[in-house]
Amino acid sequence: MADYVNLIKLSVGSESVESLIDWQRNRSRQIKGNRYFHITRMWPKREAEILKGGSIYWVIQGVVQCRQKIVGFDEVVGEDGIRRCAILLDNEIVRTEPVRKRPFQGWRYLDAGDAPRDLTKAEAAASEDIPPKLMAALSEIGVR
């Protein structure tokens, strides 16, 4: 059993993994060094567990589709003077087995044992033409 925990978060505004990648690399101003960071209001109480190997799993269009390793946390103070948490993310986005997820607010903890598995490069390439919601449905009934 893994000794780390993950986060799961809705990628609001993303239509696909490609649009998430485009946002992070080309359009977002949330860059520190060469890393994208995601800002959230709440600081995770389980920070030490996350930093032992955890990732953020992105829910896109109602389906968990990918993850990014979390490499650190940093405090950011907004123009409004409010302290927030910047989740520093690895540049690599790893496609995962698609799993349907109902809408929720903010982020949630995701135990390592409950996280969708990573897709191999061949599986990721083969699934590019299949809509993620269909892939998730196939996975739920054991076809994939």
CA atoms within 13 A on the CB side of 108: 15
pLDDT at 10: 96
Residue 80 has a CB neighbour count (10 Å cut-off) of 6
β strands within the chain, DSSP E: 5-10, 31-32, 35-40, 55-60, 63-77, 83-89, 94-100, 107-111
pLDDT at 2: 79
Q: How many helical (H) and strand (E) elements, i.e. helices and strands, does the chain have?
A: 4, 8
pLDDT at 123: 81
Q: What are phi and psi of 59, to 5 degrees?
A: -95, 115
User: Tens-of-pLDDT digits for all 144 residues of the chain?
Assistant: 679 999 999 999 999 999 999 999 988 889 888 889 999 999 999 999 999 999 999 999 999 999 999 999 999 998 899 999 999 999 999 999 999 999 899 999 999 999 999 998 888 777 666 666 666 666 565 555
pLDDT at 83: 94
pLDDT at 18: 93
Per-domain boundaries in the chain: 5-140
pLDDT at 131: 64
pLDDT at 133: 63
pLDDT at 124: 76
